[in-house]
Amino acid sequence: MSDRIITILVNSFGSLLLAGLKMTIPLAVISFSIGLVIALFTALVQTANIPVLRKLARFYVWIIRGTPMMVQLFVVYFGLPSIGILLSSFVSAVLVFSISVGAYCSETVRAAIESVPHGQIEAGYCVGMNYWQIMYRIVIPQALRTAFPPLSNSLIGLVKDTSLAYSISIVEIMATAQRIATRTYDYFLLYIEAAFVYLIFCTFLQWLQRYLERKLEALR
């Protein structure tokens, strides 16, 4: 490896890391937080005895899980302006990622809710609680502990999926690597370096996941 390539990689590493801290991580965290709210609401709707809302929730999950995220990004960012709805690239990415997280994680949350013994729900009704009180006080705290590992995996996956935002002009890790590679023509090594930066972030999240799982286990 020549001195020129080493210099390029050393100088670009800081730019890639900064792009991850300034754009990739905030985009993933904001989208995941909104997506969790959507997922929880969608899961509760599917477990409640409200036929119309349950069908709408299942239709939403079916559509989002059955279409590529790249297509969803293009529909929102390039398609909506044709009907007069203009969104910035960041808002478009947050919207699409949040909706996608909501659809996938809603199934995780729903399965976790259904894993709580039904006898506890009946006991809640016996002491005078309504459905939402039972969910809030009894079911959700237990379900979230069960759902935590797969939800953490979804967050890690979303960090990597944010690379798709490059397609709608968001300057995150991949876009930064592409811009540097366009100037230097060292595409292969720069893309490998970008993958390494993603690996750093995802490794930290995996460590954080294991740490929080131990804490949750200690609270059982």
Going along the chain from its start, the domains and CATH numbers come out as 3-219 (1.10.3720.10)
**Block means of pLDDT (10 residues each) for the chain, length 220 residues?**
77 92 95 95 84 91 94 95 92 96 93 82 81 78 84 94 92 91 88 95 94 77
> Could you report the per-residue pLDDT of 13-54, keeping only the tens digit for each?
999 999 999 999 999 999 999 999 999 999 888 887 778 888
pLDDT over 90 for what percent of the chain? 60
* Single-letter amino acid code for the residue at 218: A
> Could you report the per-residue pLDDT of 192-207, keeping only the tens digit for each?
999 999 999 999 999 9
Q: How far apart are CA 54 and CA 156, in angstroms?
A: 29
User: Residue 219 has what pLDDT?
Assistant: 62
Contact assessment for residue 194 and residue 102, using Cβ atoms and an 8 Å cutoff: no
Residue 24 is given by DSSP the state I
> Left (φ > 0), alpha (ψ -120 to 50) or beta: where does 84 sit?
left
Alpha carbon 101 to chain centroid distance? 5
Cβ-Cβ contacts under 8 Å for 45 (sequence gap 6 or more): 53, 54, 56, 57
Is the whole model's pTM more than 0.75, yes or no?
Answer: yes
